[in-house]
A and B are shown apart, each in its own frame.
Chain A
Amino acid sequence: MGLKRMLENWSDFRKQDYYEDEPYMWGMSIDLNKCIGCGACVTACYAENNLPTVGKEHYASGHSMHWMRIERYWEEPEGEADIDIKESEYPERGAHYIPMMCQQCNHAPCEPVCPVAATYHTPDGLNAQVYNRCIGSRYCGNNCPYKVRYFNFFDFNTEIPHPLEMQLNPDLSVRSKGVMEKCTFCVQRIRAAKDAAEDEGHRDHIEDGSFQTACQQSCPTEAIVFGNLRDEASAVKQSWEAHEVELNRFEQDKSEDIRGYRVLEELNVEPCVMYLDRVRDTEA
């Protein structure tokens, strides 16, 4: 297809809700009022997704492979009205925690830059990575505003000492050197649930809550909700609605003080992860 034809028919290619008839759009909601930053989700992700530990030296070089990480900030974002503590020499309102992983953007900046289409969008809204197509250009990681893509600089998984490798999950591959990887919303669990639903005769419907992502399942405070945003009855859809966050927007039309936002939403990358504001009692 020539470039000319592509530009002429651009709106067809970039039509909003291209996959609108699909029964699934996977999304997440993370309540920062409940998140305590313990890291249970991080370790659960290592266990589920065959993430290697890289050791101190590699970690120092930025080779770590944590698909999910807990970011911790001290400073309040600008404009927060809590003057009371501004003067204090201690962080009296505690830390700011946010679990950060691939936001499964529907306008993903990582996708168009891949020279070999190793990263692409699935009809159910996942930003997928085809490991055996990836040539390791790392353009995608460079283009990701959340910095949640991780590159295999080495063959970490061949160096696992016996019998630690017996833990590896056979439901997904073990990645090798030169390949980019990232959070998949536990795609192996999604596929298994889809298969199971199809076996029972439901092609277009997986019952909400019939499976969970590894991070959601481990979260001690139940801060993470995952599910199908196209399913009106799903907990995640209801949470998005209650907190007035909609897809296909780069700015939400929200009532005052309603929590719910998408990180760096203004970039118009259409993340499928909604966060709910952290809450602090300013009278305490």
Chain B
Amino acid sequence: MKSNKSGEQEAWSRRTFLKIMGLGSAGSALALTGCGDTDIVNNVDIEVRKEKVEPNVDPQDFVRPGIAIYYASTCRQCPAGCGIHARNREGRVLKLEGNPASPVNRGRLCPMGQAGLQAHYNPDRLTKPMIRKGGKLTEVSWAEAENALKKVLGRRNGKLAWLSGAVSGHHAALIRTYLDVAGSNNSFVFDTLPPAVGHAANEAIFGHAMPKYDFDKAALILSFGADFLGTWMSPVHFAGEYGRFRAAPRGTLVQIEPKMTLTGANADRWIAIRPGTEGYLALALASLLVEDARYADRVPVEVLDSIKDADIEAIANTTGVSVDRIHRLHQLLTQRSPSLVLSGSSAEGAEHGSETANAILLLNVMLGNVGKTILPRSKQPFPDLAPKLGGWSELRAFLDGLNSGKFDTAVVFGSNPIYQAPKSLGADKAFAKAKYRVSFSMFPDETTMACDLVLPIYSYLEEWNTAMPAYAADDGQLGLQQPVMNPVFGSDGPRGFGDLLLGVLTNMDGRFKKWKDYESYVMDALFTMRPAMVKPPKITVPGQTEMEAFRQGVLSTGFVRLKTASAGKLTAKVRPVQLPKAPKEDGGHPFHLVPSPRLGLWDGRHANLPWLQELPDQLAEVVWDSWVEIHPATAKKLGVITGDVVSVTSSAGSLKAKVVVFPGVQRDTVAIPLGQGHTEYGRYAKGIGVNPYHILEAKFDRQTGELATHATRVSVKKVADRGPLVTLANGDLVLESNTSTQAGREIVKTVSAKDFDRTESGKAATRPANKEV
């Protein structure tokens, strides 16, 4: 310790200041490495016993051996954009925690957020740029790669097409700026899980793609396949809302879907429905509601005409939900008010997905939920920074352009269409038609390995950036991302995406010379945006400039709030329900296929993280594998038991996987989880399981052109006898009953909501004090 600097000693004792700070806040970013060494990889490697012990009498600024420092940043494991605090000790990030101040996640994180460390430290990360030479990707020097990059991207090219994964903040702004300078209009965003159909339906009805939901106020949530606890836009945020929704007086959750999701597993009543028929059930409920003038008065006549006289019995047949159940749902909707009716991906994944979403959202209007549990949003002032979540229609446009020769150069960043898209879309063939393909990627994924120029980029824990949450808990929140340690692979390894693209831009347009790197670009942009911020953060230390004080402030809080116009009133513009005739049965392919995403592997992007591979599926409890979920009654008919291998065949392809006999799936439906089936993507992902997206038929929602993910019909045939299936039950060969029963031991006890409300209303004993660490 420097004993002569008493002022510094005082600063250290101010713990809150110490604990959350910006990397490089004292001197350069490199000052953070432990033991005065900049190469952490080779010198402080305790686990392989190569540590060089150096005296620490005079440590670097902001490094106190044995004391953890927390950096505020933003999680990028999914588009939700939760605030994080990254725990750093001796120059390494060790743990990610939620940022308690962030309204998105309020200090909490999901498994994927926790596993961000394994993406950052992944042994299969790309470390050297690669160029295709003689048909083979070959590692090259950065100088050579940068030359190639300049040659391809550093000129005006109207035939250049850019495909990103879900993107927001200054990455989105920079990509847009680049494409403007390069004279290309071909910017596409493709991500598999954001509910593009639902957003379009919201836009049509409420005038905003993503209104605000108030779970806490709802007495009843009726969800048509919206897996808000698992994979729907902002899982941690909605889980927090759910926790409050479930406090006494407790709200009731009814989930209607063909395959039980994590949300369905927590429902008070889970209702199995045939995929693609959710709209008819909504129509039946609407037609029962219009009998009461209170509800009928809320919608115009032409809409009323479209919903009255629905044949409840026929609908019960179509959906597989009994007449009695439909009447009881109607009763529940009239008794519990205000309610909230949600439409999710399993309802929207049909060719009539938009019509279905419209019919479902109509219930909200009839029930008077608009303005109570569905709230308006105000527009934030920077549309360029808004989250762009994209969808399948954009991927189709991208592939069409490549097929027709409209595009000759393809750039891919944060998206992996060759793995994700159904084979029937022909992504690989379209991709092969491009004259030149560039990938910015952390990992050797399927699309990256099909490119001609591969640029390894920083993880989100090494990169500067900003990000706007996909579902903003508070309007106008902009998350800041900062490096929470030095780059894992040193200065020779991956580089920042922002730095690379800014470098290209600087060569094309002199105006960009004013920023020496992406960090200064982001910081300068934020500093300029200050007047548009609500209370711009500031930490003042004597002698600092205003810019430095702002910088320190924004790095400590991890996000800023932008001023927004007042939200105004939410008005709903409803359209008549126009559902097609109920679908016919398909004798050759008697089953519906549900490709089910889950919190963990997500759409497959986290399959290379061993923590998530080893986190058992929340429902089937399987690890490191793919499987086919089949209802017990159907399994009996097919003569299969858990562990048997079946082939699942659609008109677009076939795949093989083991059966899990699973009660939470509709009888005429088989569900296959997403996430596996990688042919590249490193040692933890490659060669495991199958990807159900690959056998989806090329069917699309008629209004939005999105892929109808739940519209594929399949046949199922047993091909081999039982083999081992690894589950949480310590690898027992699980028969359907093995891990399902408590055998009367009362391990999980249950009480009724009525008793719960009676005994616990007014009690807040279970709520912990949510304090900063």
Q: Which residues of A contact B (CB under 8 A)?
A: 29, 31-34, 36-40, 42-44, 46-48, 53-56, 59-62, 64, 66, 69-78, 80, 82, 89-98, 157-158, 160-170, 174, 208-212, 214, 216-226, 235, 238-239, 241-243, 255, 257-259, 261, 263-264, 275-284
Given A60-B724, A98-B748, A279-B751, 11 further pairs, Cβ under 8 A: A38-B618, A46-B611, A76-B750, A77-B742, A166-B121, A167-B94, A220-B236, A263-B747, A264-B747, A283-B252, A283-B754
| Contact residues in B for A160 (Cβ distance below 8 Å) | 47
A88 to B125, CA, bound (A): 48
A235 to B764, CA, bound (A): 9
A161 to B650, CA, bound (A): 39
B123 touches A162 (CB 8 A): yes
A280 touches B741 (CB 8 A): no
B611 touches A281 (CB 8 A): no
Does B612 count as interface, using CB distance less than 8 angstroms?
A: yes
B589 to chain A, nearest CB (A): 23
A66 to B613, CA, bound (A): 13
B749 touches A278 (CB 8 A): yes
Q: Per-residue 0/1 for B246-276: is the Cβ within 8 Å of any A Cβ (1 yes, 0 no)?
A: 1000101111000010111111111110000
Does B653 count as interface, using CB distance less than 8 angstroms?
A: no
A163 to B47, CA, bound (A): 10
| Contact residues in A for B760 (Cβ distance below 8 Å) | 259
B773 touches A91 (CB 8 A): no
A217 touches B107 (CB 8 A): yes
Report the stretch among B421-429, B538-546, B620-628 that lies at the interface.
Answer: B620-628
Given A38-B239, A164-B122, A235-B767, is A72 in contact with B619 using a C-beta cutoff of 8 Å? Answer: yes
A225 touches B766 (CB 8 A): yes
* Option from A55, A161, A167, A257 in Cβ contact (under 8 Å) with B751: A257
A62 to B728, CA, bound (A): 9
B742 touches A222 (CB 8 A): no
A40 touches B731 (CB 8 A): no
| Contact residues in B for A31 (Cβ distance below 8 Å) | 766
| Contact residues in A for B624 (Cβ distance below 8 Å) | 55-56, 59
Main secondary structure of the interface of A (DSSP, over half): loop
B618 touches A163 (CB 8 A): no
B269 touches A96 (CB 8 A): no
* Option from B123, B230, B614, B632 in Cβ contact (under 8 Å) with A54: B614
A40 touches B756 (CB 8 A): no
Q: Which residues of B contact A (CB under 8 A)?
A: 40-41, 45-48, 89-90, 92-98, 105, 107-111, 113-115, 117-118, 121-123, 229-230, 235-236, 239-240, 242-243, 246, 250, 252-255, 260, 262-272, 332, 488-489, 599-600, 610-616, 618-619, 621, 623-625, 631-633, 663-664, 667, 683, 724, 726, 728, 730-731, 739-742, 744-756, 758-760, 763, 765-771, 773
A279 touches B766 (CB 8 A): no
10 tightest CB-CB pairs across the interface, nearest first?
A: A220-B239, A221-B243, A209-B769, A60-B731, A242-B765, A161-B123, A281-B753, A62-B730, A53-B610, A56-B624
Which of the listed residues A33, A43, A169, A261 has the most CB atoms from chain B within 10 Å of its own CB?
A43
Given A44-B109, A218-B109, is A169 in contact with B95 using a C-beta cutoff of 8 Å? Answer: yes
| Contact residues in B for A170 (Cβ distance below 8 Å) | 46, 89-90, 94
A266 to B225, CA, bound (A): 40
A64 to B89, CA, bound (A): 28
A284 touches B739 (CB 8 A): no
A218 to B240, CA, bound (A): 11
A39 touches B600 (CB 8 A): yes
Given A72-B618, A169-B95, A239-B766, is A56 in contact with B488 using a C-beta cutoff of 8 Å? Answer: no
Q: Look across to chain A and name the residue whose beta carbon is closest to the beta carbon of B107.
A: A217
A94 touches B748 (CB 8 A): no
A166 to B741, CA, bound (A): 40
| Contact residues in B for A275 (Cβ distance below 8 Å) | 748-749
| Contact residues in A for B748 (Cβ distance below 8 Å) | 32, 71, 73, 77, 96-98, 275, 278
B610 touches A40 (CB 8 A): no
* Option from A38, A48, A71, A242 in Cβ contact (under 8 Å) with B747: A71
A36 to B229, CA, bound (A): 8
Q: Look across to chain A and name the residue whose beta carbon is closest to the beta carbon of B118.
A: A164
| Contact residues in A for B262 (Cβ distance below 8 Å) | 36-38
B758 touches A48 (CB 8 A): no
Given A92-B271, A222-B243, A284-B332, is A77 in contact with B751 using a C-beta cutoff of 8 Å? Answer: no
Q: Look across to chain A and name the residue whose beta carbon is closest to the beta carbon of B335.
A: A283
B752 touches A97 (CB 8 A): no
A220 to B109, CA, bound (A): 6
| Contact residues in B for A167 (Cβ distance below 8 Å) | 92-94, 117-118, 121
| Contact residues in A for B771 (Cβ distance below 8 Å) | 209-210
A237 to chain B, nearest CB (A): 9
A54 to B623, CA, bound (A): 11
B252 touches A220 (CB 8 A): no
Given A47-B114, A60-B726, A222-B770, is A74 in contact with B741 using a C-beta cutoff of 8 Å? Answer: yes
| Contact residues in B for A169 (Cβ distance below 8 Å) | 94-95
| Contact residues in B for A91 (Cβ distance below 8 Å) | 260, 270, 663-664
A40 touches B268 (CB 8 A): no
Which of the listed residues A96, A224, A264 has the most CB atoms from chain B within 10 Å of its own CB?
A96
A95 touches B741 (CB 8 A): no
A238 to B89, CA, bound (A): 35
* Option from A94, A158, A165, A277 in Cβ contact (under 8 Å) with B265: A94
B773 touches A211 (CB 8 A): yes
A38 touches B229 (CB 8 A): yes
| Contact residues in A for B667 (Cβ distance below 8 Å) | 89
Q: Look across to chain B and name the residue whose beta carbon is closest to the beta carbon of A278.
A: B750
Q: Look across to chain B and name the residue whose beta carbon is closest to the beta carbon of A223.
A: B243
B111 touches A39 (CB 8 A): yes
B268 touches A284 (CB 8 A): yes
Q: Look across to chain B and name the residue whose beta carbon is closest to the beta carbon of A96.
A: B748
A43 touches B92 (CB 8 A): no
A90 touches B663 (CB 8 A): yes
B260 touches A94 (CB 8 A): yes
Q: Look across to chain B and name the residue whose beta carbon is closest to the beta carbon of A161.
A: B123
Which of the listed residues A77, A258, A261, A278 has the most CB atoms from chain B within 10 Å of its own CB?
A77
B759 touches A163 (CB 8 A): no
What are 9 A-B contacts defined by CB distance under 8 Å?
A43-B611, A59-B726, A60-B726, A70-B728, A89-B632, A96-B742, A209-B771, A255-B759, A264-B745
Given A54-B614, A90-B663, A239-B765, is A47 in contact with B117 using a C-beta cutoff of 8 Å? Answer: yes
A42 touches B252 (CB 8 A): no
B750 touches A70 (CB 8 A): no
* Option from A56, A73, A157 in Cβ contact (under 8 Å) with B623: A56
Given A38-B229, A39-B599, A59-B624, is A97 in contact with B750 using a C-beta cutoff of 8 Å? Answer: no
| Contact residues in B for A259 (Cβ distance below 8 Å) | 749, 751, 756, 759-760
| Contact residues in A for B264 (Cβ distance below 8 Å) | 94
| Contact residues in A for B90 (Cβ distance below 8 Å) | 170
| Contact residues in B for A257 (Cβ distance below 8 Å) | 751, 755-756, 758-759
Given A93-B269, A277-B750, A280-B752, is A222 in contact with B111 using a C-beta cutoff of 8 Å? Answer: no
Q: Look across to chain B and name the residue whose beta carbon is closest to the beta carbon of A53.
A: B610
B235 touches A220 (CB 8 A): yes
Which of the listed residues A32, A73, A211 has the most CB atoms from chain B within 10 Å of its own CB?
A73
| Contact residues in B for A166 (Cβ distance below 8 Å) | 40-41, 45, 47, 92, 121, 488
A219 touches B108 (CB 8 A): yes
A59 to B264, CA, bound (A): 28
